């Protein structure tokens, strides 16, 4: 085992999108950063089948990726802009339509494969001064008088700040004894690519069904990505159903809004869960991304919330440098923890409430929710507020 490290300012654990963005951004500021990740991402290739997991990248998240220098390559690879959004309820009533021009934006966002974003960040990290560590596991964590000590199976790392960005099941969060709360939805997100007879019209579509929301997201190459929230047993049935059965039920669930839908990929599903860490800071340890919060995918904001965590951390580091303060200055770290916890809890419980309101067939909610969507769609100031909020700007 190597001797304990010295001189590192920040250790980031987890090289997913959020952890990679934090490590890269801090390194670009001249900080000495170590990144701990057991498994490098799978190489992304244009001639490979598209990644089944996609994200709706908001303009705010795009701005951060531009700042990190990775957006241009993402944009020319497979990033599909969407200019409008249509939301309606299967129970009837009006619909909510949003468009980028009304909000003064070139696009409401871009649909991008998760693997493409992660790969471009990884390539940029290889060209940076970030020290990479690939242990099989993190064995122990300790707060040594305000300095974080990370025991790996390969070496010991220590730094004034350690950032856990190692996912919703964060081993580092568990080692630090930071509790979390939330609940399983008893549901899964069924994902696949489809081709729609009428195309996707550069629009992100979402229909609320009693079983859960069904999103149809525009992608490149004429494809659309579906994210269909269903009770877990039903998601399993449809994932394994004959193709023609799946296509028929999907088209019917979407009310044939875009005509017949044809499966264009494998199908996969993932469990849905709400998770909120009870605190984002414990001594030198900070939480970010899914290690701090995992939300329902109905609004497509999960990775955007994580990238807002990254943006806030980078702003804290910039302010510390401008004021001649150490990066671990407690008031600055507390400000990060307070702001991001407040924002993420508001978002998480809002998404949870929307899911509960729309994903049921009780008479009163069914009568009210479609009319509420229609009313919101008819009020231009409310539409603009929604767009600006979702943009992350």
Average pLDDT (389-393) is 59
pLDDT at 170: 97
pLDDT at 388: 60
Flag whether pLDDT at 280 surpasses 50: yes
Work out the mean pLDDT of the chain and round it to a whole number. 90
Phi, psi of 81 (to 5 degrees): -70, 150
- Residue 103 is classified by DSSP as G
Q: Are 122 and 23 within 8 A, CB to CB? A: no
Average pLDDT (273-292) is 97
Write out pLDDT tens, residues 284-299.
999 999 999 999 887 6
The tokens for 101 are 């021009």
Q: Are 36 and 149 within 8 A, CB to CB? A: no
The tokens for 315 are 């702003």
pLDDT band for position 11 (cuts 50, 70, 90)? very high
For tokens 């409008």, the residue is: 84
Flag whether pLDDT at 86 surpasses 50: yes
Q: How far is CA 177 from the centre of its chain?
A: 24
Flag whether pLDDT at 370 surpasses 90: no
Give the residue extent of every domain in the chain. Answer: 10-63+116-182+273-355, 82-107+185-272+361-391
Q: Is 82-107+185-272+361-391 in the same CATH topology as 10-63+116-182+273-355?
A: no
Provide the 10 A C-beta neighbour count for residue 144: 11
Flag whether pLDDT at 391 surpasses 80: no
Contacts of 122 (CB under 8 A, 6+ apart): 15, 20, 40, 41
- Global pTM reads 0.92
pLDDT at 256: 97
What CATH number does the domain located at 82-107+185-272+361-391 have? 3.30.9.10
**Selection from 215, 216, 222, 217 nearest residue 199 by Cα:** 222
Flag whether pLDDT at 4 surpasses 50: no
Q: Are 376 and 96 within 8 A, CB to CB? A: yes
**Selection from 8, 328, 326 nearest residue 157 by Cα:** 8
**Better-scored residue on pLDDT, 175 or 360:** 175
Q: Are 378 and 371 within 8 A, CB to CB? A: no
Q: Are 244 and 262 within 8 A, CB to CB? A: no
Average pLDDT (157-163) is 97
What CATH number does the domain located at 10-63+116-182+273-355 have? 3.50.50.60
Encode burial over 196-222: b for 16+ CB neighbours within 10 A, e otherwise: beeebeebbbbbbbebbbbbbbbbeee
């Amino acid at each position: 085992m190597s001797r304990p490290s010295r001189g590192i300012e920040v250790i980031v654990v987890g090289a997913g999108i959020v952890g990679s963005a934090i490590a890269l951004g801090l390194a670009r500021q001249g900080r000495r950063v170590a990144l701990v990740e057991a498994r490098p991402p799978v190489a992304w290739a244009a001639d490979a089948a598209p990644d089944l997991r996609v994200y709706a990248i908001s303009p705010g998240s795009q701005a951060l990726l531009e700042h990190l220098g990775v957006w241009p390559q993402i944009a020319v690879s497979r990033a599909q802009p969407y200019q409008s959004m249509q939301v309606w309820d299967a129970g009837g009533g009006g619909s909510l339509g949003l468009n980028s021009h009304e909000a003064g934006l070139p696009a409401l966002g871009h649909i991008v494969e998760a693997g493409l974003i992660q790969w471009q960040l990884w390539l940029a990290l290889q060209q940076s001064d970030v020290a990479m560590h690939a242990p099989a596991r993190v064995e122990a964590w300790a707060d040594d008088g305000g300095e974080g000590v990370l025991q790996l199976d390969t070496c010991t790392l220590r730094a004034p700040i350690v950032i856990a960005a190692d996912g919703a099941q964060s081993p580092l969060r568990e080692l630090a004894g930071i509790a979390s709360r939330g609940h399983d939805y008893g549901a899964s997100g069924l994902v696949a690519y489809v081709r729609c007879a009428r195309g996707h019209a550069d629009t992100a579509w979402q229909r609320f069904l009693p079983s859960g929301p069904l999103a149809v997201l525009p992608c490149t190459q004429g494809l659309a990505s579906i994210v269909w929230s269903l009770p877990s047993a039903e998601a399993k049935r449809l994932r394994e159903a004959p193709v023609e059965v799946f296509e028929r039920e999907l088209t019917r669930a979407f009310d044939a809004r875009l005509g017949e839908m044809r499966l264009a990929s494998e199908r996969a599903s993932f469990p849905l869960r709400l998770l909120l860490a009870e605190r984002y800071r414990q001594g030198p340890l900070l939480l970010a991304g899914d290690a701090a919060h995992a939300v329902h995918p109905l609004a497509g904001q999960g990775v955007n919330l994580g990238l807002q965590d990254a943006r806030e951390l980078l702003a804290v580091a910039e302010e510390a440098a401008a004021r001649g303060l150490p990066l671990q200055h407690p008031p600055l770290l507390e400000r990060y923890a307070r702001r991001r916890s407040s924002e993420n809890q508001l978002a998480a419980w809002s998404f949870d409430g929307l899911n509960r309101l729309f994903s049921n067939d009780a008479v009163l909610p069914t009568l009210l929710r479609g009319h509420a969507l229609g009313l919101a769609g008819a009020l231009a100031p409310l539409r603009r507020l929604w767009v600006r909020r979702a943009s992350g700007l």
